[in-house]
Chains A and B, each alone.
Chain A
């Protein structure tokens, strides 16, 4: 079972460059979200989506854009990367038929901005 797939696994950017972190899930989950995790810290919610065409902000949305054109995909865009965005990024999904269903996470994208 593929579950939640994130690409790339590693990325190095220079300040000011843009890139898109990809996230895809094959569980037909309505809900998807992006978190970032800085060294020694917990996860902070960046953006989330409750279905195609619907997105909203989490705790730390500044500097990131998202869109949701299909149920399967939820890409995260960095328009102008900054060193403060160096982090590990995790994508998660859950079914919303049962709102207490667990989150399923990908294995992360490690991003370094120099």
Chain B
């Protein structure tokens, strides 16, 4: 099963860091972890991905546990525009990319 486990929802205050967890305990050695987010009334958009090492880009950071069974997406300073559903995906390199329900992030002003 290529699904991951995420909390249904999380809440953050504006301008504070947000840590979005994801459990992927059955991950295999060659599976990448991808994160997408979906803003209201839009299609999902790519955020970040990684294999073993922590990754940073202009949108976020990705921290991957040493045993790779979990990862955390880090938004360093949440803004109201970051309110979205965040999906953590195991990318097995195949063609059936499976999405779970994701984590709905609420950001309070």
Tell me the A residues contacting B by CB distance below 8 Å: 4, 31, 33, 35, 40-45, 48, 50, 56, 58-59, 90, 92, 99-100, 102-108
- Quick check: A33 and B97 within 8 Å, CB to CB? yes
B interface bracket (residues with beta carbon within 8 Å of A): 20 to 34
Cα–Cα distance between A57 and B87 once the two chains are bound (Å):
22
- Quick check: B42 and A42 within 8 Å, CB to CB? no
Q: Which among B32, B42, B45, B99 is the interface contact of A35 at CB below 8 angstroms?
A: B99
Given contacts A105-B43, A105-B45, contact A41 B101 (CB under 8 A): yes
Q: Does B19 contact A (CB under 8 A)?
A: no
Top 3 A-B residue pairs of the complex, sorted by shortest distance between their CB atoms: A105-B43, A102-B46, A43-B99
Give, as a whole number of angstroms, the nearest-CB distance from A30 to chain B. 10
- Quick check: A48 and B44 within 8 Å, CB to CB? no
Q: Which among A50, A56, A59, A90 is the interface contact of B44 at CB below 8 angstroms?
A: A90
Q: Which residues of A contact B24 (CB under 8 A)?
A: none
Q: Which residues of A contact B36 (CB under 8 A)?
A: 102-103
Given contacts A107-B42, A107-B43, contact A100 B93 (CB under 8 A): yes
Q: Which residues of A contact B100 (CB under 8 A)?
A: 42
- Quick check: A103 and B96 within 8 Å, CB to CB? no
Cα–Cα distance between A45 and B89 once the two chains are bound (Å):
13
- Quick check: A102 and B93 within 8 Å, CB to CB? no
- Quick check: A45 and B93 within 8 Å, CB to CB? no
CB-contacts of B26-45 with A (<8 A)? 32, 34, 36, 41-45
Cα–Cα distance between A41 and B102 once the two chains are bound (Å):
8
Q: Which among A41, A44, A45, A103 is the interface contact of B46 at CB below 8 angstroms?
A: A103
CB-contacts of B66-97 with A (<8 A)? 87, 91, 93, 95-97
Minimal Cβ-Cβ distance residue in B for A56: B95
Cα–Cα distance between A58 and B98 once the two chains are bound (Å):
9
Q: Which residues of A contact B46 (CB under 8 A)?
A: 102-104
